[in-house]
A and B are shown apart, each in its own frame.
Chain A
């Protein structure tokens, strides 16, 4: 660095600057790392679903595979279930499909599909192609019932307990971290009987 006409700076100055600089740099990287890891928590910005702790909305929807037969919230009560919102038009659903299938196969809890705003033929074809992990699939063709659930789009996943109370909601594709870190522990807590 340049200084006005005068002797060179003592050796201690630069060394101190280096140490301070290094500390600042490390602090800076640490701060940004914190930010990145935080951002991984899917819906950090999203506010909690107003449904959590409340009974699941009343619905009566036809089954995708049996359009003549309707299923309601009451029919599903008695044991907890996971409600997974998907559509054949949704690329992220394809991403979470293998994860969801693995989880469903473990038979830990019932996995119910909620087919949102989809043409039945497209939905059926999608399931045929990729496999059907769901115990049953509800078909909400026009998306009206979805509004009661506070569903913005897909993929979204809910956990409803045996008494029909919504306990958990996840927005975005599921991955193993979310399942193992959030869903399974919550299931365990529910089963232990809080």
Chain B
């Protein structure tokens, strides 16, 4: 038991050795046609998972047993930490979350090894080989710069920090789910690199990759949504997206991933966009790696950046350069060898998908530029700059507007050649209806008429357009709905729901920050808020000032909210706990500021307090929309077509859509 952390270290080193084997032998074997070497891939993947999982279990044990002789445990735990949170504190800081990354990577690798029976062994060997290369990078990073098992001898009697931020379900769920998505993009990436090495991309094999991409993207969507939701309820400012560099770091792979999903569909069904698909697969994973780098290396100057270990930053940067540079080089050398797909006319689904790809990629590039611009300015000595959210907001809306406009046309337009008037005729009445609804919203909106109109019109258009497709399909050729189609419908519906939330909350939200004395009432957005004073309460590891605010609607009491200001025992951190009443059509949100009475007034708690009240219509629709998008991704992945064994005989054409 005493030497358990060292065992964890040994497990990591062994995992690295196995990863080396997993990369070297199968890749070389696939090149030379050596079946024995190729056969090493799958077992190596399983063994690697076992070893990394073992290391993770050791670290978890150290946390649960509160072994403060392990430096990482001492720095991120405390004897007061409840048992449940001891399990989740494992990924509470850098080393542990990196180990989680490595574990999830090993998990995806083993899953690929298990569920790739339908692919030729040679292809599997290459894919697992590339994944092995990535594992080598991450395991080396862990072992050489971020060892979670480093000892602190003699052990401290008490752990360092009991960060209250980390004792929260949202905060806890965020990393594992986000990583499942981030890391999951390694699968299409590995496949793309394998295809480049092989010099061809068989569309039949691509069919195998699609569910993996969809699932990874689904998880990433969930992870980002959870992060947004957490920021909303935890930070007390009522915001759900700040275009913060750290948020952008997870949003960029999402955009690339969304483009990738669509590109893969075209490549699989029509053989088109092979180049795009490979490039997007490389981009999605590279952006994941870049995101990991940006938030851990201290490169980004945000109010949250701290002095970071430059050794770590350099390590990841070199790894990043090798992965991205290497795959792009490979692309430059090998992509021209890909067979071009079937040609298509200007009016066709291919063109619409091309537009989709372009718009998403531009959005991604725009976010990247805005995120890195401060660094560029600093390097060029232009001063210390920060890029405000309106840059991102304005350009993003500008790019997404054409995308939203074209979206409903996609499913209704034929592949290769379509007479433009046909889908136009089908959709024109619905476009008109959406515009009418928008106009109605404009006149009825209590405030922010343009944004409200835009939100209603855009989401109605997407929803109605998608429904039109459903109707066409149901009424038409009698073929059933495939899971892939259902997934698409769900995801596009999710977009419609999201648009309602995002645009309407911007347009209709209201807030006020004011000094309130007990008994005072303020009215906002159709609600009344009566401040009833603050009293002191005590939690397991904190002291809190607990406010009471009665919320009324049309004179009738709706709910009693309890916003708090908590001071935590260890670290002395002060945190705001907002009082939120969630509703399907609006949230009511109250946050406590500071006491405004004299500091030494014994009646301080009975005096005036700074209070902030918000009314946030439709804010829940944002996360509901995201949930639908993620669900769409998962559902699409279950399509039976993807699981059908790929015919190995040459000359078997890909199926038509």
Q: Let me know if chains A and B touch directly in the complex, using CB atoms closer than 8 Å.
A: yes
Contact among B74, B156, B293, B328 with A32 in the assembled complex (CB-CB below 8 Å): B293
Q: Do A4 and B344 touch (CB < 8 A)?
A: yes
Residues in A21-67 with C-beta less than 8 Å from chain B:
21-22, 25, 29, 31-46
Residues on B with C-beta less than 8 A from A98 are none
- In the complex, whether A192 has a CB less than 8 A from a CB of chain B is no
- CB-nearest residue of chain A to B379: A34
Q: For the complex, what is the distance from the CA of A89 to the CA of B376, rounded to whole Å?
A: 39
Q: Do B350 and A25 touch (CB < 8 A)?
A: no
Q: For the complex, what is the distance from the CA of A37 to the CA of B298, rounded to whole Å?
A: 10
Residues on A with C-beta less than 8 A from B301 are 44-45
Residues on B with C-beta less than 8 A from A39 are 297-299, 305, 307-308, 310, 313
- In the complex, whether A120 has a CB less than 8 A from a CB of chain B is no
- In the complex, whether A91 has a CB less than 8 A from a CB of chain B is yes
Contact with B along A64-105 (1 / 0, CB 8 A): 000000000000000000000000010100100000000000
Residues on B with C-beta less than 8 A from A41 are 307
Q: Do A2 and B310 touch (CB < 8 A)?
A: no
Q: Do B154 and A129 touch (CB < 8 A)?
A: yes
Q: Do B307 and A43 touch (CB < 8 A)?
A: yes
Residues on A with C-beta less than 8 A from B297 are 35-36, 39
- In the complex, whether B569 has a CB less than 8 A from a CB of chain A is no
Residues on A with C-beta less than 8 A from B240 are none
Contact with B along A161-191 (1 / 0, CB 8 A): 0000000000110000000000000000000
Q: For the complex, what is the distance from the CA of A9 to the CA of B309, rounded to whole Å?
A: 47
- In the complex, whether B152 has a CB less than 8 A from a CB of chain A is yes
Contact among A14, A91, A171 with B336 in the assembled complex (CB-CB below 8 Å): A14
Q: Are A5 and B345 also in contact (CB < 8 A) when A31-B375, A45-B306 are?
A: yes
- CB-nearest residue of chain A to B316: A36
Q: Do A34 and B345 touch (CB < 8 A)?
A: no
- In the complex, whether B325 has a CB less than 8 A from a CB of chain A is yes
Q: Do A18 and B332 touch (CB < 8 A)?
A: yes
With contacts defined as CB atoms under 8 Å apart, how many contacts are there between chain A and chain B in the complex?
103
- CB-nearest residue of chain B to A1: B275
Residue among B297, B298, B325 with most chain A CB within 10 A: B298
- In the complex, whether B276 has a CB less than 8 A from a CB of chain A is yes
Residues in A1-18 with C-beta less than 8 Å from chain B:
1-5, 8, 14, 18
Residues on B with C-beta less than 8 A from A33 are 314, 317
Q: Do B332 and A21 touch (CB < 8 A)?
A: yes
Contact with A along B325-349 (1 / 0, CB 8 A): 1001000100010001101111000
Residue among B317, B350, B351 with most chain A CB within 10 A: B317
Q: For the complex, what is the distance from the CA of A35 to the CA of B313, rounded to whole Å?
A: 9
Number of chain B interface residues as a range: 35 or more
Q: Do A1 and B314 touch (CB < 8 A)?
A: no
Contact among B310, B325, B341, B351 with A40 in the assembled complex (CB-CB below 8 Å): B310
- CB-nearest residue of chain A to B300: A35
Q: Do A4 and B156 touch (CB < 8 A)?
A: no
Q: Do B375 and A35 touch (CB < 8 A)?
A: yes
Report A140 CB to chain B, min CB distance, Å.
Answer: 18
Residues on A with C-beta less than 8 A from B366 are none
Q: Do A4 and B75 touch (CB < 8 A)?
A: no
Contact with A along B156-170 (1 / 0, CB 8 A): 101010000000000
Q: For the complex, what is the distance from the CA of A36 to the CA of B350, rounded to whole Å?
A: 42
Residues on A with C-beta less than 8 A from B328 are 21, 25
- CB-nearest residue of chain B to A30: B379
Contact among A4, A25, A29, A36 with B313 in the assembled complex (CB-CB below 8 Å): A36
Q: Do B300 and A2 touch (CB < 8 A)?
A: no
Report A126 CB to chain B, min CB distance, Å.
Answer: 10
Q: Do B307 and A44 touch (CB < 8 A)?
A: yes
Q: Are A4 and B299 also in contact (CB < 8 A) when A45-B305, A91-B152 are?
A: no
Residue ranges of A at the interface with B (Cβ–Cβ < 8 Å): 1-5, 8, 14, 18, 21-22, 25, 29, 31-46, 89, 91, 94, 129, 171-172
Can you list 15 A-B contacts with CB-CB less than 8 angstroms, sorted by A residue number?
A1-B275, A2-B273, A2-B276, A14-B336, A21-B328, A29-B320, A31-B372, A31-B379, A32-B317, A32-B375, A36-B313, A38-B299, A45-B306, A94-B152, A172-B307
Residue ranges of B at the interface with A (Cβ–Cβ < 8 Å): 71, 74-75, 152, 154, 156, 158, 160, 272-273, 275-276, 293, 297-301, 305-310, 313-314, 317, 320-321, 324-325, 328, 332, 336, 340-341, 343-346, 350-351, 354, 372, 375-376, 378-379
